[in-house]
Amino acid sequence: MAGKPVRPVNAIDQTRRMLSLVTYLRERPGARVEDVARAFGITEDELVSDLDVLPMCGTSFRGGDLLDIDTDGERIWWHNPAALGAEAAEPLRLAADEATALLVAARAVATLPGLREGDRQALLRATAKVEAAAGEAAGASSRLSVTFESEGGVFADVDRAISERRRLWIRYYSPARDEVTEREIDPIRLVSVGHTYVEAWCRRSEARRTFRLDRVAEIKILDEPSAPPEIELRDLSQALVQPAAEDPEVVVEVGPGGRWVAEYYPHDSADELPDGGLRITLRTPDPASLRRLALRLGRDGRIVAPSELADSARRAAREALAAYETAYEVGYDAAYGTGQGTGRGAADAGDAGAGVPAGADPAGGPHDRQEQGL
Amino acid sequence: MAIAKAERLMNLALCLLGTRRPLSKRELRESIEAYLEAGTDDSFNRMFERDKDDLRELGLVIATVEGLDGEVGYLARRDSNRLPPITLDAEEAAALGLAAKVWQQARLAGAASGALQKLRAAGLPEDVDPYEAHGALEPRIPVHEAAFEPLMLACRDRRPVVFDYRKANAAHPETRHVEPWALECWRGHWYLAGFDRDRGAERVFRLSRITGRVRSRGTGFTAPVPDVVTVRETVASWAGESADRSALIRLRAGAGYPLRARASSVRELGDGWDELEIPYGHGLDAWLVEFGPDVVVLEPAELRADVVDRLRAVAKG
């Protein structure tokens, strides 16, 4: 299934799984391979590899009490369930990491704005029961927390449109061009990775696009049915948008105050500079969309290439400055000051904060494919 | 070899769970083929200690009992290892099924699946995920930071840590000694809150700015851990989201939608420009500069000066 985390072959995870498996199989003679794999959230191949190991396990390899478990590929048979005493086959208590992983995730999903109320209530009930069953093991789960950002109203409309298979009309803000455009989309799924996005088939560009919910200025559920073409769902967790190899290259040099660029923009390389800065090479289908970045960087960095991009930022800055000079002429001076640079510099707002772009999170902005060719 | 190790761990677990009396190391060695093949006593002992630690990571409570003959024995007692009764309905099961899939980090993804499998073995109903039915909702917790796992373990075990950290505007990283309290993920980035020993005060760190390895320092915490650790509020204020003042700007008609979205008032000037009152928090100057010639700051003078200053730096190129 797309988006499913890749599970590495790991002795700890496999042992954990096999321990639960013996408990599960003991109660269900002749269980179907397919059903067990689904119940355990693993592939049939993974299950079969567990079933290969189990006959080598038991309370002693000498006494002939190894687990006699086999499968004909369809059903699983355990010929000597008595080999394992009832006490060795009871469900095991949750480990601290297990309780943490499940509880932190459940709490995070429960706070997702726009989640259906029935599902939220089910999550909260389940969370309380798991907390109670985990006992002390649940204690450390408060040391980890996750917040998903979402626009509740937009989320609910998208969710409804998906389940009713209806088309959506949206007004959507593209930061790269600083414009709001209208389009009709056939929604496919909602993905929350920090922010929440809807992946959809865009009827305007006839292509797959992802839209960040907090950039949806307006939304309407249309009467037309949604009919997205069958497309392969990608794992969006690593990066929502991966630049293509044929995209033009942009080189940015930043000082220490501009290092955040490497944290927010997917890039090909980031080489250390002697002054504590970075030389960052990235690719984007539309370098002009990076003018915002050039303007924001100010004295913390500059565009090295392409030169048209650097020129356009310079032109924009000069044009903007001219407006202040005009304002001066018409008498804003007295009211608003001369605009003489105070060189406040970067505020030391704390260890993690300074330099984090405020307001608009540029991540994904200039690389959003949905902006391409619009 | 992963398979061989899983087989060995499984055998040790079954022996410890299946016995009513403590088993000595000698007995365990004779019962488990992999231990017999371990070779020297030394290598067996090392293997045995590691395996016990691994089983404890899985949640197994292994008791160590000294017998009358002075020999140490081991067993996993039934009452300390049994999952207490838990009954979940199909809806709750489905909700947990969704939650178990959100981790992108291998260790926690494995732990979440493991938790669900234990609950499944205890009778958790087979679910029909209400969202999975049409595959429509995929919450994912991203973990890209290498420092995450060691810090997660240090928070769990309340172990002080040392790491090199580069502040936002610093040219070079600095070594920090921290008693880690909690980790929080906000907008896809992880932050650590803890007690900074050198500064003698609480600090919040962004994990992506930790350079090099996170080292563990054996000694315990020296400062009390607060009941409630709030990371998000601190970070949000740095990101300019706790504005206590407002600014007046002119914005070209049709431009700057996100500025309009958070404006407390918008007035059409009729000459192709609008006048907006917007919240003025940290970082607003940098953000306004992004809009280039489409924004003119009217007041306060301090913000206007900062924006002009930034524009001059870009104009000079």
Return the pLDDT at A3: 40
Ramachandran bin of A37, using left for φ above 0, alpha for ψ from -120 to 50, beta for the remaining angles: alpha
Number of domains chain B is built from: 4
Task: Give A330's contacts (C-beta < 8 A, 6+ positions apart).
Answer: none
Closest-CA residue of A relative to B100 is A102
Whether residues B113 and B157 share a domain: the answer is no
Return the pLDDT at B188: 85
Closest-CA residue of B relative to A322 is B293
Q: Which residues of A touch B104 (CB under 8 A)?
A: 5, 237
Rounded average pLDDT over B296-306 = 94
pLDDT band at A237 (very low <50, low <70, confident <90, very high): low
Q: Which residues of A touch B256 (CB under 8 A)?
A: 178
Whether residues B190 and B252 share a domain: the answer is no
B106-121 vs A11-27: helix axis angle to the nearest 10? 10
Distance (Å, whole) CA B78 – CA A92: 9
The yes-or-no verdict on residue A239 having pLDDT over 80 is no
Angle subtended at Cα B149 by Cα B144 and Cα B153, rounded to the nearest 5 degrees: 155
Return the pLDDT at A25: 93
pTM of the model: 0.82
For the stretch B60-87, pLDDT in tens is: 999 999 877 888 999 999 889 999 999 9
B312 touches chain A (CB under 8 A): yes
Q: Which residues of B touch A194 (CB under 8 A)?
A: 142, 185-189
Q: Considering only the beta carbons, identify the residue of B95, B109, B167 that sits closest to A5.
A: B109
Q: Which residues of B touch A341 (CB under 8 A)?
A: 305, 308-309, 312
Which of the two residues, A34 and B242, has the higher pLDDT score? A34
The yes-or-no verdict on residue A86 having pLDDT over 60 is yes
Helix, strand, coil shares of chain A, percent, nearest 5, are 40, 25, 35
Return the pLDDT at B230: 80
Q: Classify residue B261: in a domain, yes or no.
A: yes
Q: What are the CA-CA distances from residue B113 to residues A233, B93, B103, B187 (Å)?
A: 22, 13, 10, 24
Q: Which residues of A touch B95 (CB under 8 A)?
A: 106, 109, 119, 122-123, 126
Biggest CA–CA distance in chain B, Å, is 97
Rounded average pLDDT over A309-315 = 92
Mean pLDDT of chain A: 81
Q: Domain limits at B181? A: 148-238
Q: Classify residue B140: in a domain, yes or no.
A: no
A33-40 vs A44-53: helix axis angle to the nearest 10? 100
Whether residues B41 and B57 share a domain: the answer is yes
Instruction: Read off the CATH number of the domain in which B204 is found.
Output: 2.30.30
Whether residues B14 and B36 share a domain: the answer is yes
B5 touches chain A (CB under 8 A): yes
pLDDT band at A243 (very low <50, low <70, confident <90, very high): low
Q: Which residues of A touch B257 (CB under 8 A)?
A: 173, 178-180, 217
Distance (Å, whole) CA B200 – CA B140: 36
Q: Which residues of B touch A56 (CB under 8 A)?
A: 7, 11, 33
Q: What six digits make up the tokens of A183?
A: 């389009």
Using CB atoms within 10 Å of the CB of residue A160, give its burial: 0 to 12 exposed, 13 to 18 middle, 19+ buried. middle
Whether residues B65 and B89 share a domain: the answer is no
B317 touches chain A (CB under 8 A): yes
User: What residues of chain B, 168 to 207, have a C-beta less than 8 Å from chain A?
Assistant: 168-172, 181-189, 191, 203-206
For the stretch A250-272, pLDDT in tens is: 999 999 889 889 888 888 999 99
Q: Classify residue B138: in a domain, yes or no.
A: no
Domain boundary among B238, B272, B291: B238
Q: Classify residue B281: in a domain, yes or no.
A: yes
B63 min Cα distance to partner chain A (Å): 15
The yes-or-no verdict on residue A342 having pLDDT over 50 is no
Whether residues B160 and B228 share a domain: the answer is yes
> Which of B102, B181, B250 is most worth mutating to test chain A (most A CB atoms within 10 A of its CB)?
B102
> Which of A1, A9, A15 is most worth mutating to test chain B (most B CB atoms within 10 A of its CB)?
A15
Domain boundary among B213, B238, B263: B238
The yes-or-no verdict on residue A367 having pLDDT over 70 is no
Return the pLDDT at A330: 43
Domain boundary among B70, B94, B129: B129
The yes-or-no verdict on residue A346 having pLDDT over 60 is no
Return the pLDDT at A114: 85
Which of the two residues, A306 and A65, has the higher pLDDT score? A306
Q: What is the dihedral of CA A7, A9, A15, A17, to 10 degrees?
A: 30
pLDDT band at B217 (very low <50, low <70, confident <90, very high): confident
Nearest partner of A247 among A320, A306, A291, A163, judged by Cα? A306
> B116 vs A102: CB contact, 8 Å cut-off?
yes
Whether residues B204 and B280 share a domain: the answer is no
Whether residues B164 and B222 share a domain: the answer is yes
Closest-CA residue of A relative to B17 is A88
> Which of A6, A14, A16, A292 is most worth mutating to test chain B (most B CB atoms within 10 A of its CB)?
A16
pLDDT band at B30 (very low <50, low <70, confident <90, very high): confident
Return the pLDDT at A44: 93
Distance (Å, whole) CA A34 – CA A43: 9
Return the pLDDT at A82: 82
Q: Classify residue B141: in a domain, yes or no.
A: no
Distance (Å, whole) CA A366 – CA B31: 62
> Which of A6, A9, A102, A330 is most worth mutating to test chain B (most B CB atoms within 10 A of its CB)?
A102
Q: Which residues of A touch B112 (CB under 8 A)?
A: 98, 101-102, 105
CB pairs under 8 A between A and B: 511
Q: Classify residue B134: in a domain, yes or no.
A: no
Q: Considering only the beta carbons, identify the residue of B30, B99, B137 that sits closest to A123.
A: B99
For the stretch B111-135, pLDDT in tens is: 999 999 999 999 888 765 545 544 5
Whether residues B198 and B253 share a domain: the answer is no
For the stretch B250-295, pLDDT in tens is: 999 999 999 999 899 999 998 999 999 999 988 899 999 999 999 9
> B112 vs A101: CB contact, 8 Å cut-off?
yes
B57 touches chain A (CB under 8 A): yes
Q: Considering only the beta carbons, identify the residue of A8, A276, A291 that sits closest to B106.
A: A8
For the stretch B148-192, pLDDT in tens is: 999 999 999 999 999 999 987 787 899 999 999 999 998 888 999
> What's the ipTM?
0.87
Closest-CA residue of A relative to B235 is A353
User: What residues of chain B, 17 to 56, have a C-beta less than 8 Å from chain A?
Assistant: 17-19, 30-33, 54-55
Return the pLDDT at A169: 97
Return the pLDDT at A365: 36
Percent of the residues in chain A that have a pLDDT greater than 70, as a whole number: 81
> Which of A9, A87, A92, A326 is most worth mutating to test chain B (most B CB atoms within 10 A of its CB)?
A92
Q: Which residue has the tokens 């310079």?
A: A314
Q: Classify residue B166: in a domain, yes or no.
A: yes
pLDDT band at A236 (very low <50, low <70, confident <90, very high): low
B179 min Cα distance to partner chain A (Å): 13
For the stretch A225-234, pLDDT in tens is: 999 888 777 7
Q: Considering only the beta carbons, identify the residue of B10, B59, B112 that sits closest to A105.
A: B112
Q: Which residues of B touch A61 (CB under 8 A)?
A: 11, 31-33
For the stretch A160-211, pLDDT in tens is: 999 899 999 999 999 888 999 999 999 999 988 888 999 999 999 898 999 9
> A129 vs B87: CB contact, 8 Å cut-off?
yes
Whether residues B61 and B124 share a domain: the answer is no
Q: Which residue has the tokens 């016990």?
A: B52
Return the pLDDT at A201: 94
Return the pLDDT at B237: 74
Q: Classify residue B51: in a domain, yes or no.
A: yes
B241 min Cα distance to partner chain A (Å): 7
Q: Considering only the beta carbons, identify the residue of A20, A149, A237 that sits closest to B142.
A: A237
> A20 vs B187: CB contact, 8 Å cut-off?
no
Helical (H) or strand (E) element with B138 = strand B137-139
Rounded average pLDDT over A121-142 = 93
Whether residues B94 and B65 share a domain: the answer is no
Nearest partner of B294 among A311, A361, A175, judged by Cα? A175
B218 min Cα distance to partner chain A (Å): 19
Q: What six digits make up the tokens of A51?
A: 């079933």
Return the pLDDT at A349: 34
Q: In the beta sheet, which residues pair with residue A282?
A: A250
> A191 vs B140: CB contact, 8 Å cut-off?
yes
Whether residues B213 and B268 share a domain: the answer is no
